[in-house]
Amino acid sequence: MCGIVGVLGHHEVAPILVEALKRLEYRGYDSAGIATVEDGRLDRRRAVGKLVNLSDLLVHDPLAGKSGIGHTRWATHGAPTEANAHPHRAGRVAVVHNGIIENFRELRADLSGRPFESETDTETIAQLCERHMEAGMSPREAAVATLGALEGAFALAFLFEGENDLIVAARKGSPLAIGHGDGEMYVGSDAIALGPLTDRITYLEEGDYAFVTRDGAEIHDARGRLANREMRTIAPQAAQVDKAGHRHFMAKEIFEQPVVLSTALAAYSSAGQVTLPEGDLDFSNTDRVTMVACGTASYACAIAKYWFEQLAGLPCDVDIASEYRYREPPVSPASTALFVSQSGETADTLAALRYARGKAGRILSIVNVPESSIARESDLALPILAGVEVGVASTKAFMNQLAVLAHLAILAGRQKGHIDPTREAELLADLARLPALLNQALALDPKIAKRTGKLAEARSVLFLGRGPMYPMALEGALKLKEISYIHAEGYASGELKHGPIALVDKTVPVVVLAPRDALFDKTVSNMQEVLAREGRVWLITDATGAQEAGDGVWQTLVMPEINPIFAPMLYAVPAQLIAYHTALHKGTDVDQPRNLAKSVTVE
Ligand code: M6R
């Protein structure tokens, strides 16, 4: 998945393209490139690695032109080399692409003999388009004929030699926005990319293509008919945030959690009752909640499953989006389908939403980006109000996803008669105490920093938890592997003895996330099983738990007491800090770890 941008402007576009690409770097940072047309001449610059390398290249080897396209890449087909970097060019055509062309092998075979330079699927698009132009088609005709041959998911922008005032943009499966300026026009993967340029956006719909010139955009639908797509004025996009004195965005975002959580709590409750910031929601006729998401967002759903079941008595399924859709699960019209995504652009989650549309009674989403595709395609999109999250490792978005999910479970509980208003008010009061408790947990930061040195030496780390702390253990392991590159696994404490305990020896730290809850004694037994095999246990618990845990643990971190049902929200903090400090010890790229991207817009 990648970010694409295009500008038909009145000024030199290279710096504008690079600025817009900066705002899209969350989609990938393996390589970047731009192409421009200057006096009809098409040219390009590309550089491997982060955008800063392209900026440096442009200082030494500038690119003139008032029309251009740009790309930031997360490698799918072909290694992150300059040859594989976009824009791809064949003769008079340059193309930038987000997505995957599934029939590129057939297309490439059909184009054999042509001078391919890269291993990418994208270059076939440029070659095919150029071949159509060699056969006498105009750039517009050639682009449309090319689109007709492509299978898979894509958002594309074409630029042509000899055409100072034309970008052909197309969308199938991957989102694409067209921005309207004053005598200027823009194309971007999302509204965020175009934020500083314009607030007037038209989203292309599935199968649309557009001939974009400085006068506007002529949009056609998948069947080639002229299409009228609404132009929206969007809320100003938050400017690129700074690190507020922290070394990394991830640290800043971890420390922001008490504040962003307070914002969500205020938006979702009032006077001891759950309220929604927008829309109505009635769970009384819902007989099942299905939650679908990827990565960290899926662990938030897995925690919320305990809440929906215990607080609302509602059967609840949690699915990983990439599995859900292809399993073709039956979806009851009496069910509510809930899609959780920080970015709102995750391709698997979006595809899962589309699968459930028309089958589930209602499509809800919980997103951080209100203009995102998932939000726009939902019956009701609930914002998590976490503010821009820059670090690839999701932290504050996870916290606020949990906050919104907790409120929905309480609301469902009241509407289904499973809890009464007094219990609702008590649960909300427990949640209201959380920001202060998060601050206390954050105060453990220096202690955690000191203790992670040993963790950084480990080749493998296990995380254990029971009940809602089990998915929290999965999330703790994901955080650690994402940014420290240490192999880590999360397990349900009781499951360890069914196999994973074979991994335990004195070189394997085992982080046990265990507030003193009803199942604590059982967790202590599981811990003893680890200790008996010389495993090094790092116990994270509260004061009572620390007292009752017995001897032998390697180290204990004492957390504030909390209603155990919401403990995952509090214990997320030490899990995040453990990952962060271990990564610092290892010297990895915390905010942009290798091989990852903030938003995964390919399947
Ligand atoms: O934007 P989304 O919430 O849909 O993203 C889902 C996952 O890609 C994301 O949570 C990923 O697992 C994070 N890098 C985890 O830190």
Three-state SS string over 469-524 comes to HHHHHHHHHHHHHHHHCCEEEEEEHHHHHHCHHHHCCCCCEEEEECCCCCCHHHHH
* pLDDT of residue 538 exceeding 70: yes
Rounded mean pLDDT of 123-142? Answer: 98
> Which residue in 412, 179, 374 sits closest to 293, CA to CA?
374
Range among 23-32, 314-323, 542-551 rated most confident: 314-323
Per-residue confidence band for 238, with pLDDT thresholds at 50, 70 and 90: low
- Note the pLDDT tens digit of each residue in 389-436: 989 999 999 999 999 999 999 999 999 999 999 999 999 999 999 999
- The pLDDT assigned to 422 comes to 97
Distance 549 CA to ligand 1 centre (A): 34
Rounded mean pLDDT of 137-157? Answer: 96
Protein residues with CB under 6 Å of any ligand 1 atom: 294-297, 341-343, 346, 349, 392-394, 478, 482, 599-600
- Ligand 1 atom with least separation from CA of 393: 16
- Note the pLDDT tens digit of each residue in 365-376: 999 988 888 999
- Ligand 1 atom with least separation from CA of 598: 14
In angstroms, rounded to a whole number, what is the distance separating the alpha carbons of residues 39 and 31? 27
In angstroms, rounded to a whole number, what is the distance separating the alpha carbons of residues 75 and 28? 8
- The pLDDT assigned to 191 comes to 83
Per-residue confidence band for 237, with pLDDT thresholds at 50, 70 and 90: low
- The pLDDT assigned to 75 comes to 84
- The pLDDT assigned to 26 comes to 82
- The pLDDT assigned to 132 comes to 98
- Note the pLDDT tens digit of each residue in 429-488: 999 999 999 999 999 999 999 999 999 999 999 999 999 999 999 999 999 999 999 999
Q: Which position among 2, 129, 294, 301 bears the catalytic label?
A: 2
b/e code 228-259 from CB counts within 10 Å (16+ = b) = eeeeeebeebeeeeeeeeeebbbbbbbbbbbe
- Note the pLDDT tens digit of each residue in 338-390: 999 999 989 999 999 999 999 999 999 999 988 888 999 999 999 999 998 98
- Note the pLDDT tens digit of each residue in 484-496: 999 999 999 999 9
- The pLDDT assigned to 544 comes to 95
Q: Which of 299, 324, 346, 350 to mutate to test the pocket of ligand 1 (most atoms within 8 A of CB)?
A: 346
Peptide bond into 139 cis (omega under 30): no
Tokens of 187: 């194309």
- Ligand 1 atom with least separation from CA of 596: 14
- Note the pLDDT tens digit of each residue in 275-291: 999 899 999 999 999 99
DSSP E strands in 522-570: the ranges are 536-542, 555-559
DSSP string, 183-214: S-EEEESSHHHHTTT-SEEEEPPTT-EEEEET
252 is an active site residue: no
- The pLDDT assigned to 236 comes to 67
Average model confidence (pLDDT) across the chain: 94
Rounded mean pLDDT of 237-253? Answer: 82
Tokens of 592: 């942009």
Q: Which position among 22, 172, 252, 598 bears the catalytic label?
A: 598
- The pLDDT assigned to 240 comes to 55
Per-residue confidence band for 244, with pLDDT thresholds at 50, 70 and 90: confident
Give the chain's length: 603
* pLDDT of residue 601 exceeding 80: no
- Note the pLDDT tens digit of each residue in 251-269: 999 999 999 999 999 999 9
164 neighbors 67 (Cβ within 8 angstroms): yes
